[in-house]
Amino acid sequence: MKMKAIKVPNELCEIPYCHSRLQLNGVSIIESCTQAHDLKTNMFLEDHLLLFVLEGTHHFRVGNTNYTVNKNEMILLKKSICVESHKQGNADKDFAYESIMFFLKEEFLLDFIRMNSIKSLVTIEKVQITVKPFGERLLRFLESIKPYFRDPNEIDAGLVRIKMLELLYDLANTDKNLLLQLIQVKQQVRTDIIRVMEENYMNPVSLSDLAYLSGRSLSGFRRDFQAIYQITPAEWIRAKRMTKARELILSTSIPIADICYQTGFENVSHFSRLYKSVYNMSPSDDRIKSQKIA
């Protein structure tokens, strides 16, 4: 089973991660400098992620696909997905790892698309996620960002916005495929709701996330979901999570608290009360009873 997913970017700035952060409306920039022998995290992306690796290696698993981002390489990942993150530092430099992560909100990308007048580049064909090298020009840009993390309270939000627009213009002018990928993270393709729900019910998703993943407006998603399942999305997710949790409780020795978090519940006490209301006994009692029968 996967570990509990942390919601990023916000939880990357909390204990135990404590990364440095610059923030304005529409953008969060996270600096990660650490010693990483073998650091693994399960992350739920609340915003689109544009990551640049400056030292070490960063592995991602998105669905069934693996991506490896080495030094001086970058990757763009869309929001509302869970990714398995695996950092490895450079063994020749005391396992040093360094990256800069740009988390982009919908409204910021939309402003950029409007400013750049790129409607004619929209295509029906989906652009694939790719790992790309970056050169001296972008390296110098990333180096110019680093001093801002030392005293973030003294940095004007307008300046950060200008720097981000500079970055997106650089990317758009040098790589058409990446430009199309930036456009398509905003323009979602309509997707089968059943597949979206089965793939994401254990993730910390909101209704807005599910609507985005399905390529629908929030009202359109609610309407189409109701037509398929005849219950609300929240009711369906709760029942699905509970069924999975009971399966793990009866068939494994995984601690109940871990099962709670792994199946998408965020509070053990609430999980236990809900479990008892459904199965007429607590999770621990259900496990004990099952073991005695076996």
Q: Are residues 82 and 157 in the same domain?
A: yes
Number of domains in the chain: 3
The Cα–Cα gap between 145 and 50 comes to: 15
Strand order across the beta sheet in which 27-35 lies? 20-24, 27-35, 96-104, 48-55, 73-77, 132-133
Domain range for residue 203? 193-230
Q: Are residues 112 and 216 in the same domain?
A: no
Q: Are residues 11 and 57 in the same domain?
A: yes
Q: Among 176, 206, 230, where does a domain finish?
A: 230
> pLDDT by residue (tens digit) across 24-69?
878 899 999 888 888 899 999 999 899 999 999 999 999 889 999 9
pLDDT of residue 100: 96
Q: In Å, what is the CA distance from 213 to each residue of 187, 191, 194, 196, 241?
A: 11, 7, 11, 7, 19
Q: Are residues 280 and 244 in the same domain?
A: yes
Q: In Å, what is the CA distance from 93 to each residue of 56, 71, 245?
A: 9, 13, 43
Pair 150, 143: CB distance under 8 Å: no
Q: In Å, what is the CA distance from 124 to each residue of 127, 184, 233?
A: 9, 9, 29
Q: Are residues 123 and 225 in the same domain?
A: no
The reply to whether 26 falls in a domain is yes
Q: How many helices (H) and strands (E) does the chain have?
A: 11, 11
Q: Are residues 29 and 152 in the same domain?
A: yes
Q: Which domain CATH number covers 97?
A: 2.60.120.810
The reply to whether 140 falls in a domain is yes
The reply to whether 1 falls in a domain is no
The Cα–Cα gap between 281 and 190 comes to: 41
Which two three-digit tokens encode residue 257?
Answer: 């608290």
The reply to whether 53 falls in a domain is yes
pTM above 0.85, yes or no: no
Q: Are residues 141 and 155 in the same domain?
A: yes
pLDDT of residue 86: 95
> pLDDT 10s per residue in the chain (294 long)?
456 788 999 898 887 887 888 888 788 999 998 888 888 999 999 998 999 999 999 999 998 899 999 999 999 998 889 999 999 999 999 999 999 999 998 888 888 877 776 655 555 556 678 899 999 999 999 999 999 888 877 778 888 888 888 898 888 777 777 777 777 765 566 789 999 999 899 988 899 999 988 988 899 999 999 999 999 999 999 999 999 999 999 999 999 999 999 999 989 999 999 999 999 999 999 999 998 886
Q: Which domain CATH number covers 239?
A: 1.10.10.60
Q: Are residues 67 and 114 in the same domain?
A: yes
The Cα–Cα gap between 208 and 47 comes to: 12
The Cα–Cα gap between 287 and 248 comes to: 10
pLDDT of residue 127: 65
Strand, coil or helix: 60 = strand
Task: Identify the CA nearest to 59 among candidates 51, 238, 282.
Answer: 51
Pair 157, 25: CB distance under 8 Å: yes
Q: Are residues 100 and 210 in the same domain?
A: no
Q: Are residues 156 and 282 in the same domain?
A: no
* Residues with Cβ within 8 Å of residue 251, at least 6 apart in sequence: none
* Residues with Cβ within 8 Å of residue 218, at least 6 apart in sequence: 207, 208, 211
Alpha carbon 213 to its chain's center: 12
Sheet strands (E) in 118-254: 132-133
Strand, coil or helix: 184 = helix
Q: Are residues 151 and 17 in the same domain?
A: yes
Pairing of strands 6-8, 39-45: parallel
> pLDDT by residue (tens digit) across 151-178?
877 778 888 888 888 898 888 777 777 7
pLDDT of residue 188: 61
The Cα–Cα gap between 194 and 277 comes to: 27
Q: Are residues 217 and 252 in the same domain?
A: no
- State which amino acid sits at residue 93: K
